[in-house]
Amino acid sequence: MPEKILMKGNEVIAEAAIQAGCRFYAGYPITPQNEIPEYMSRRMEEVGGVFIQAESELAAINMVFGASAAGARAMTSSSSPGISLKQEGISYLAGAELPAVIVNMQRGGPGLGNISGSQQDYFQAVKGGGHGDYRLLVYAPNCHQELWDLTMRAFDKADEYRNPVMILGDGILGQMMEPFEPVPYSPPNLPPKDWVLDGCRGREPRVVKSLYLGEGELERHNLKLFQKYSRMKEQEVLYEAINVEDAELVIVAFGIASRVCYTAMELLREHGIKVGLFRPVTLFPFPEKEIKGLSLQGKDFLVVELNMGQMVEDVRLAVEGRTSVEFYGRAGGSMVTPEEVMEKVLSLQRPTSTRLSL
Amino acid sequence: MSTTPLRLKELSKKEDLLTGGHRMCAGCGAPIAIRQVLLAAEMPVVVANATGCLEVSTTIYPYSAWKVPWIHTAFENAAATLSGVEAMYRALKKKGKIKERIKFIAFGGDGGTYDIGFQSLSGAMERGHDIVYICYDNGAYMNTGIQRSSATPLGANTTTSPAGKVIPGKLQPRKNLTKIMAAHGIPYVAQTTPAHWRDLMTKVRKALEVDGPAFINVLSSCNRGWRTPTDRAIEDCKLAVETCFWPLYEYENGKLTINQKPKEKKPVVEFLKTQGRFKHLFSPENEHLLKKAQELVDKEWEDLLREERMWKAEEGE
């Protein structure tokens, strides 16, 4: 195993991308993710890749479209308002089935909001933020090890599914430093990119497009895309479940909020309160079967997010009313504390006899 | 209403419409320029601000340093937002619901003007809104941590055009936005600096006086990005003009006038050498870049002189 090193979260993403073979990066300044383009502007030159600072987020995402169509492992990054600007391009990438990695180090919103870490773009990330009917594969890392591992994985999965993949981080993860193991990238067996537009001399010309005008053509394309998303649901779900076996209440949290909830869980357990933590690592596909399973065991849920309640809707869909699903959130770039989570959990305590059970 | 003469004695009696206590850095050129702009205005103005240092640092809620109506939406759209405000004003004026003559000023940095805001700026100018767009150009995205913009000069060291052993800072010359705006054929276009307050304020008055769109490009120093001491703002802007890096000129209905011709044009290194962002250019291996920087300045200056001669010759006929 390599020795642990200490890096800033944004730079972990950038270096992981480079090591995973990303050779095209286009970006545009926005706080709190500027370390990614800054790092890329130095590093891409060293590895013979391309760094472009675009004139806008729109330009950056469309550069990624072009580079991906030409066969490059391509990436862009931004923070919430900039990701909003990229949505048109993301929809086109999904429609044209082009692989790309899009990093969103979320900040408080809506509008200009602020530059503190937040989780207010959950809906935008997992429900298809742009127009049309599409999904991104969405990873929600909660530590620098996962920023490293999941960034590498994102490139592989983007190629495997020919689909844009989003890393949904936040300003805190991006700005903080913590040690991690820079595990070397090992490339998986991936299907050949037999769709790349790299010159058609000696072969049939290829087409990469999202325009389907023929009768029924676009619907067939949509069905094909949704078969792909179903396959993701079968094969790509990642999550972490801690202390859920004996838990009466399971806290569900992703990303940076899950780390606060972990502390709260440990403190509550010290007081003999049986609390578990369930952390979706993929937000799409969402670990709905696993949450359904926990609800079938009669466990209640508390969803904690740095927003006004977004993932809680997906938890409720999975629980289907079997047990109770409560929510606690802090929005607008405010941070939740372990004490707040504990207080909320204690307020939900009730005698076992009144618990819902199936 | 009589016009306040452009004399310090009289101007000092006018109310400052960008008040002190804002959070712009010590030594920043931008608030100096903005105060001069607002001091020059003799009528009520409405201000739109693109995202940037100026916007963030002057409007930290619940505080505002602005004593004029002020609007901000996002980064790329100060000109578009103000187009909407100005169009509504015109409609209300037509209906007789507003009697007063109100002028509309947009402020944007070079990122919000040269780059992401260029489309909305061009659109507003082409549609002919009665707007004065003022760019304060400090040559990089200073608000987000000194990333290069299309206004960044050749060779400048920024966080996304880092100077190293292989690449000596920004490889491209800056975009000549003032000329591009002149090519829009709008009634008034000029460039100036806050170090030339009388020139700046005269130009602002001309811009506010015309019926239709006007654009003023104001070179503005940033000690964080330029890597200069905080007392250099005015001196560096003067050097920019004395070296013809930033000539003072204006287009009135398409006709060019150069407002200041240095008696002795200083070499551009005089402007570059005081700034840390160009420090690496003075290594022997980067000598060619200093030469190139001089060539760029010479060409722009000679083009301007030639163009002005052409206008004068035509008038002489």
Provide the whole-model pTM. Answer: 0.94
Question: Residue B159's closest chain A neighbor by CA?
Answer: A38
B161–A55 CB contact, under 8 Å = no
What is the identity of the amino acid at B34?
Answer: I
- Packing angle of the helix pair B118-127, B78-94 (nearest 10 deg): 20
Q: Residue B236 in contact with residue B197, Cβ under 8 Å?
A: no
d(CA A91, CA A96): 9
CA distance A37 to chain B (A): 7
A38–B76 CB contact, under 8 Å = no
d(CA A352, CA B10): 81
Q: What number of helices (H) and strands (E) belong to chain A?
A: 12, 14
**Does any CB of chain B come closer than 8 Å to the CB of residue A87?**
no
pLDDT at A351: 54
Q: Spell out the domains of chain B, with CATH numbers in brackets.
A: 10-314 (3.40.50.970)
Q: Which regions in chain A score pLDDT beneath 70? A: 1, 350-358
Picking from B75, B160, B167, the nearest residue to A37 by CB comes out as B160
The arithmetic mean of pLDDT across residues B157-168, rounded, is 95
| pLDDT tops 80 at residue B1 | no
pLDDT at A353: 43
Question: What are the tokens at A82?
Answer: 């900039």
3 state SS of A327:
strand
| pLDDT tops 70 at residue B238 | yes
pLDDT at B254: 96
CA geometry: angle A147, A153, A155, nearest 5 deg: 105
B145–A38 CB contact, under 8 Å = yes
- Residues in chain A with CB shorter than 8 Å from the CB of B167 are 45
Cβ contacts of residue A134 below 8 Å, gap of 6+?
Answer: A91, A94, A95, A128, A225
**Does any CB of chain B come closer than 8 Å to the CB of residue A31?**
yes
B147–A34 CB contact, under 8 Å = yes
d(CA A292, CA A315): 8
Q: Spell out the domains of chain A, with CATH numbers in brackets.
A: 5-235 (3.40.50.970), 240-347 (3.40.50.920)
Picking from B54, B71, B72, B116 by the largest number of A CB atoms within 10 A of its own CB, the best residue to mutate is: B116
pLDDT tens figures, A75-98: 999 999 999 999 999 999 999 999
pLDDT tens figures, B197-209: 999 999 999 999 9
Question: Residue A115's closest chain B neighbor by CA?
Answer: B144
CA geometry: angle B96, B101, B106, nearest 5 deg: 120
A37–B51 CB contact, under 8 Å = no
| pLDDT tops 60 at residue B40 | yes
Estimate to the nearest angstrom the gap between the alpha carbon of A178 and the chain centroid: 20
Q: What is the sign, positive or negative, of the torsion defined by CA atoms of B49, B52, B58, B64?
A: positive
3 state SS of A240:
strand
- Packing angle of the helix pair A288-296, A311-319 (nearest 10 deg): 50
Between residues 155 and 194 of chain B, which touch chain A (CB distance below 8 Å)? Answer: 159-162, 164, 166-167
pLDDT at A358: 35
pLDDT at A349: 82
d(CA B266, CA B245): 10
CA neighbours within 13 Å on the CB side: how many for B280?
17
Question: Residue A81's closest chain B neighbor by CA?
Answer: B74
A45–B72 CB contact, under 8 Å = no
Cβ contacts of residue B71 below 8 Å, gap of 6+?
Answer: B46, B47, B48, B49, B81, B82, B85
**Does any CB of chain B come closer than 8 Å to the CB of residue A37?**
yes
- ipTM of the modeled complex: 0.90
- Residues in chain B with CB shorter than 8 Å from the CB of A57 are 116
Q: What are phi and psi of A288, to 5 degrees?
A: -70, -35
| pLDDT tops 90 at residue B278 | yes
d(CA A117, CA A110): 13
DSSP B138-201: -SSBTTTT-B--TTSPTT--BTTB-B-SS-BS--SPPP-HHHHHHTTT-SEEEEE-TTSHHHHH
Provide the strand spans (E) within chain A. 5-8, 24-27, 50-53, 74-78, 100-106, 137-139, 164-170, 177-180, 239-242, 249-252, 275-280, 282-284, 300-305, 325-329
